[in-house]
Amino acid sequence: MPSPLRYNKRFDKLTDEEKQLLEINKKSIADFVEQSSSVSDVHYATRNAHAKTYAVAKGEFIIEHDIPEKLQPFFEKGKYDLTLRFSNAHPKIIKGKKDIPAYGFAVKVKDENGILLANFPLVNFPLFPINSVSTFLKLFTSVNRFFIKKWSSFSLLMQIIKVIPSTFTGSFIKNIFKLWRKRNDFFLSFEYHSVGVYRLGDYMMKIKLKPQSVPKNFGKRLKVKDAIEAYLNTENFTADVMIQLCYDLKDQPVNQLNVEWKKSPFVKIGEIKMNKNSLLDPYACENEMLSFNPFESKIFFQPVGKLQKLREDAYKVSMQTRLKMNKLLKYNK
């Protein structure tokens, strides 16, 4: 196996046009979050993506004893503390309807002293339908404006149409069918993915979380939130944490997120464990206000790539606006 490619700042560099579009997008994020309590009909300001919290829990990340020697410096401790948030990707909190199976599994990793090491927002679909930064920013801005009634549904549809061609890859179509077959499966039975690329020191990696022995039909008649709570109140949860390393940009592209990496085997580095009764109050202010900004991670675990780079300012603006609005709304449950 060849040596992994090394991280280079050029993977993250945005053009002047992309930076201008990002400024417009940041304004739309702030506008959305300011009005999000009305958009979702709740008493607090929400995130502008993954607004709906199903559950928040505590857990542990236990490192494998025999991980490859080159990975050992990044995981010197045998165990790390985790805070986990389970969510739905929709920017609006939908009530009384069946949720689309677009799920989030966000992981906050801390050491034994409570020092933050990394945030990893994972999702249950391994690919992203957009490679163009400009196309993504225009679409994301139009979505924000649509929900706060500053843009028509026709304008949003035009932006969505521009995305469709990049979904016609073998990887993307295969995973769409896979998700369709699993659309009614239990939340905790899904595999979760980083989608984008992250640093592992000087290396670059993708992450996959693979649950162990979770029944896909658990809580079939329950709402997603109730099913998660029922499971974690009665069962222990374990998932394998696996990574792929980037060796060749042809087979493992950093800025092409609509195709799967190939010729890079998954390596198990540890397990996530949640013991039963590990749930926290998802409506408590300190839990609803949690930030999973991956750019708050230590430098050797931060995101890589142009689309990932957008998260840095987007998360920051969203969080700053949520803090401001929730102080005004006196959200302190």
Q: How many CB atoms lie within 10 A of CB 208?
A: 18
Q: What is residue 283's predicted lDDT score, i.e. its pLDDT?
A: 83
Residue 261 lies in a domain: yes
Query: Does residue 3 belong to any structural domain of this protein?
Result: no
Q: Say yes or no to pLDDT of 333 above 70.
A: no
pTM, entire model: 0.95
Identity of the residue numbered 254? V
Which range of residues forms the domain containing residue 235?
9-328
pLDDT value of position 96: 78
pLDDT digits (tens, 9 = 90+) for 6-36: 999 999 999 999 999 999 999 999 999 999 9
Contact by Cβ (8 Å): 126, 258:
no
Ramachandran region, residue 53 (left: φ > 0; alpha: ψ -120 to 50; beta: rest): beta
State the burial class of residue 171 (Cβ atoms within 10 Å of its Cβ: 0-12, 13-18, 19+): middle
Beta carbons within 8 Å of 144's beta carbon, 6+ residues apart:
25, 28, 29, 31, 32, 48, 91
Query: What is the model's pLDDT at position 329?
Result: 87
Helices (H), 48-132: none
pLDDT digits (tens, 9 = 90+) for 294-322: 999 999 999 999 999 999 999 999 999 99
- Do the domain assignments include residue 270? yes
Report the number of distinct structural domains present in the chain: 1
Q: What is the predicted pLDDT for the residue at 70?
A: 87
* Inside any domain, residue 2: no
Phi, psi (rounded to 5 degrees) for 11: -65, -25
pLDDT at residue 40 is higher than 80: yes
The pLDDT mean for the chain works out to: 94
CB 238 within 8 A of CB 250: no
Cβ burial, residue 176 (10 Å; 0-12/13-18/19+): middle
Contact (CB, 8 A) for 294 and 316: no
Q: Residue 76 — pLDDT band, cuts 50, 70, 90?
A: confident
Which CATH number belongs to the domain containing residue 157 in this structure? 2.40.180.10
Residue 1's pLDDT is: 62
pLDDT digits (tens, 9 = 90+) for 169-212: 999 999 999 999 999 999 999 999 998 999 999 999 999 999 99
Q: What is the pLDDT of residues 267-276, one digit of tens each?
A: 999 999 999 9
3-state helix, strand, coil in the chain (%, to 5): 35, 20, 40
pLDDT of 95 strictly over 70: yes
151 in a domain, yes or no? yes
